[in-house]
Amino acid sequence: MHETPSLSWDDLRVLLAVLREGSFTRAAPRLGVEQSTISRRIAALEESIGRPLFRRDRRGPIATDLGERLRVHAERVEREVHALLDVAEKHERAIEGRVRLACTEALAVQVLIPGFLPAMRAKHPRLFIDLITSDDAADLSAREADMALRFFRPTSGELTAQKVVTMKVAPIAAKTYRARRRPPRELDWILYDHGNRRTPEAEWFDTHIGATPVLRTNGYVACVEAVRAGLGVSLLAEGVCEWDRTLRVLPIDVGPLPVLELWLVAPSGLRGVPRVDAVWEGLVEHTAQIGRTLSKRVRAKPRTARS
């Protein structure tokens, strides 16, 4: 008699991680285990099913037809497991526990760590917030984080989103940088270009400047540091001049500038969980205060520095 293979949620989590990452090596840190553990778990799963789920190739594991067909069912199980946990967590009453917040490193350093985190610790001492910093967007549907601050509105998934700040951008350079009255196209441009996701800054640069940048980086913090070092000028949020007085807006005509929108996003099922709701409401209040402060400063102190 043929024995029905035994599958656990942990087996499916490993399978989904490899399918999504396309590599045992990249799937390992996603699950917090060693690469050898991923290999063993996939091998055991294939033995239990009795058919291969991946073809081993020098470029990495390639999913078989069966592996791809299982993805749909595994993702359905994933959604149901998350929904079950959400229902259980909504019965919590105390604001305590851990919330994983995904954001860029720049937001963590400039916005969250200086003001938001100390205020939340004082208000909710039994609430702990983990910052997951990356310029790549965390997959909230797969629960890589409980919520996220990101510079684009989600267009898919069962997510709740709220725009919290609209940021003005401007051509910004170090105060020591001299443009020498060169036309904008001949300045030393530093370009923030994420690569995996086209940024408004990169779109603007291609349309209005179109020159070869002296430096291109996929990290916003690296871009700001390059500007601080005097390497050139970059299109950055005006707020960086308030956080770093060594920077200034160059008064040059570069055409219409894009506007950055900061969105707060969370899986819809988590929105009513007390600890998640507390962080959500705290972020809405904190970012609103920052937006009002920056707007007042920009209106009160127009920059007319000479290049």
pLDDT of the residue at 86: 66
pLDDT category at 269 given cuts 50, 70, 90 is confident
- Is residue 228 within 8 A of residue 174, CB to CB? The reply is yes
Pairing of the two strands 215-217 and 190-192: parallel
What is the four-CA torsion angle of 65, 68, 72, 77, rounded to 10 degrees?
A: 110
SS3 75: helix
Q: Which of 80-94, 123-137, 148-162 has the lowest mean pLDDT?
A: 80-94
Q: Which of 76-85, 237-246, 274-283 has the lowest mean pLDDT?
A: 76-85
Task: Tell me the whole-structure pTM to 2 decimals.
Answer: 0.68
pLDDT more than 90, % of the chain: 35
Over residues 156-165, the mean pLDDT reads 88
Residues 6+ apart with CB under 8 A from 189: 205, 209, 211, 213, 214, 232, 233, 234
Q: Determine the Cα–Cα distance for residues 286 and 111; give it in Å rounded to an integer.
A: 9
Per-residue pLDDT at 297 exceeds 60: no
CATH of 9-89 among 3.50.7.10, 3.40.50.970, 3.30.70.260, 1.10.10.10: 1.10.10.10
Tell the burial category of 103 from Cβ atoms under 10 Å away from its Cβ (0-12, 13-18, 19+).
Answer: buried
Residues 6+ apart with CB under 8 A from 157: 140, 141, 267
Q: Determine the Cα–Cα distance for residues 83 and 66; give it in Å rounded to an integer.
A: 26
Nearest to 287 by CA among 205, 173, 167, 164: 164
What are phi and psi for residue 143, nearest 5 degrees? 60, 40
pLDDT of the residue at 215: 95
Q: Can you name the CATH fold of 98-148+269-291?
A: D-Maltodextrin-Binding Protein; domain 2 (3.40.190)
pLDDT category at 116 given cuts 50, 70, 90 is very high
pLDDT of the residue at 293: 60
Per-residue pLDDT at 110 exceeds 80: yes
User: What does the block give as tokens for 274?
Assistant: 């007390």
CATH 3.40.190, the chain: domain bounds:
98-148+269-291
pLDDT of the residue at 164: 93
Residues 6+ apart with CB under 8 A from 196: 136
Tell the burial category of 97 from Cβ atoms under 10 Å away from its Cβ (0-12, 13-18, 19+).
Answer: middle
Question: What region does 22 belong to: left with phi over 0, alpha with psi -120 to 50, or beta?
Answer: left
Helix (H) or strand (E) holding 50: none
CATH 1.10.10.10, the chain: domain bounds:
9-89
pLDDT in tens, 15-57: 888 888 888 888 888 787 888 888 888 888 888 888 888 888 7
Q: Decide which of 293 and 174 is more confident.
A: 174
Over residues 257-280, the mean pLDDT reads 90
Q: Decide which of 2 and 149 is more confident.
A: 149
Per-residue pLDDT at 304 exceeds 60: no
User: What does the block give as tokens for 246?
Assistant: 């060594």
Q: Determine the Cα–Cα distance for residues 173 and 99; give it in Å rounded to an integer.
A: 36
Residues 6+ apart with CB under 8 A from 153: 161, 163, 261, 263
pLDDT in tens, 67-91: 888 888 888 887 777 777 766 666 5
